[in-house]
Amino acid sequence: MAAADWDAVRASLGRDPTAAFEVAVRDPSGAPVVLRNAPLTDDGVPMPTRYWLCDPTLTRRVARLEAAGGVRAAEAAVDPTALAAAHDVYAAERDAALPDGWDGPRPHGGVGGTRRGVKCLHAHYAWHLAGGNDPVGAWVAHQLA
């Protein structure tokens, strides 16, 4: 991983990252927008959030959407069957990245660590930006457009 990416993510989080990551999406200047996290932190703690929105401007915009009731609105707007399928695909991708033979604690749930419904618009939007077929992420993108 490039030192510039590590520094940018540290600045975005306000702390050192606790898990390995790769940049899944960059802005036109090359700055990280979305991270693809390892399924475990450096000390083996499960990391349910595979895709992490780290662009400060987008993070603030999504936070404003959440504060305005966006989680409930998104949950009401999307097809629950499509949302459940998205959680299953997300969890399968994350779990496939666990080390071979891992027998310790495992991440749980789907997008944002939840098994059903919507917990965090940031996580859904991050996965959508990284190419995931996420109906909530698509809803967020439409709201931000």
Question: What is the tens place of the pLDDT at every residue in 12-43?
Answer: 888 899 999 999 999 999 999 999 999 999 99
Looking at residue 115, its pLDDT comes to 82
Amino acid symbol at 85:
A
Amino acid symbol at 114:
T
The mean predicted confidence, pLDDT, of the chain is 94
Query: Please, which pLDDT band fits residue 80 given cuts at 50, 70 and 90?
Result: very high
pLDDT at residue 53 is higher than 80: yes
pLDDT at residue 143 is higher than 90: yes
Q: Which residues contact 67 (CB under 8 A, 6 or more apart)?
A: none
pLDDT at residue 1 is higher than 80: no
Q: How many C-beta atoms surround the C-beta of residue 51 within 10 A?
A: 30
Looking at residue 75, its pLDDT comes to 95
Closest to 109 (Cα-Cα) out of 38, 49, 40 = 49
